[in-house]
Amino acid sequence: MKIHFIGIGGIGVSAVAQYFLAQGNQVYGSDLVSSEITRMLEKKGIKIFIGPNDPKNIEKIFPDIVAYSPAVLPDNPELLKAKELNIVCKSSPELLGEITKEKYTIAICGSHGKSTTASMIALMLKDAGLDPTAIIGTKLEEFEDSNFRFGKSPYLVIEADEYKRSFLNHWPKIIVLTNLEIDHLDYFKDMQLPNEPTIYDHLVLALRPKDLIATFNWDPFLYQAFVRNGKIADMPYLCFLHGTVALGYSKEDKRSGPAGWYSKATKNYFEPTRLLYPVDQKNYNKDEFISKEWDRLKYWLNSDSTKRVTIFGYGAPKSDLEAVRLLSESWGTRDDRNMEQFEIIDIREEETVRQNWDNFIHSHHYDYSTDYFKSSLAYNPRRTSESYFQHYMPMTPSEAFSESNPVPSDFKTLEELWKWHEPLINAEKEWKEKNKE
């Protein structure tokens, strides 16, 4: 089989190319400039075209597969020619993914230390006589000054690169996570909500400033929904218990703001927040931003005014020991909060989820649904608490028999969603105006 690698001088691509060469395939490559890596590959017998990528290279070779680095752009001349000729085109992470399916793969991932850790594991396996194959991101003297080692055993040690979600192509048996921090913002910062209603928009519009949304998710979507819907309505408070890619924190100002921005008032930098990985043991006090987020949640949970809690697809009580402790300290036992109402929205079996939250729920004081649009938030957006008290502790017959006001789930545009919420928002504005001090 003939395989041509575009961008073969890259540290990751070159290692994959060497694997296929060791398997007896005809391997070719191209790169813009000659380098130590390309010269090493040429010595091993790989034909490499140096200079601007030329579609004629593809015509000359007519390979069975064209592989390319994740850094190669879609309009690359060689890639376009290969597609024009109906040649199979795959990224190097996709090719590596196919190899991982055939091996007992140990994948090392993380923001830092992948190459060092992968090298150590590969050398330990080698010295233990297990003869591993290694595809790593650095050259080792023990591998004859190469970033690749070919072994005859099923064991494969790789670096699982996160750039452009490359590691989602891999099928490891063992994952080693070195650490987790914000990285590759040139790619991940552009994650955007679609320009249409999403569950995030419905959620933030269902609540008011007297409410709090606490999330363990890192993605920017909740914050994006908060910003775009904040133009038409007062929003609930947010807290990000594991950090978020959307926000940064200034230790000088003790304030958060959009990640990578500077405070208009003080000119201090909003350093991207630390992200916590969902493992059993975590220290929520180590990072100042995350500690303050937890302080906010604990204050709200401990407040006598908090009468309803909705859990939306979160199963922490079985996995996050520190979160359980902090939540229990703030909320109290189920006997302490015997009049408060819990609501759970989850796609799993009710009994399984109910057992997870058993220490927090008193008797049958909870509601359960598998669909957001069947929850109390969707049945009475922006009036959930009022509706709850009207139905369970009515002061008048009209309150006892008051109907819900469910939000439709089929809006096609944000404008339609906002239009539906207008009467609720206008009533809030009128009430605020009348009750000005």
Per-residue pLDDT reduced to its tens digit, 380-412: 999 887 776 666 666 777 766 678 899 999 999
Per-residue pLDDT reduced to its tens digit, 114-166: 888 999 999 999 999 999 999 988 888 888 888 899 999 999 998 877 766 66
Which residues have CB under 8 Å from 19's CB, separation 6+?
A: 99, 133, 135, 148, 150
- For residue 339, the tally of other CB atoms under 10 A from its CB is 9
Closest Cα to residue 64, out of 45, 41, 98, 89?
Answer: 89
Q: Are 126 and 191 in contact (CB under 8 A)?
A: no
Rounded Cα distance between 125 and 265, Å, is 56
Q: Are 247 and 273 in contact (CB under 8 A)?
A: yes
Residue 308 or residue 73, greater confidence = 73
Task: For the chain, list the domains and their CATH numbers.
Answer: 2-91 (3.40.50.720), 96-184 (3.40.1190.10), 199-434 (no CATH)
| Beta strand ranges found along 72-199 (DSSP E) | 88-91, 104-109, 133-140, 146-149, 155-159, 174-177
pTM of the shown model: 0.58
Radius of gyration of the chain (CA): 28
Side chain identity at 140, as an amino acid letter? L
Q: The dihedral of CA 11, 14, 186, 176: what is its sign?
A: negative
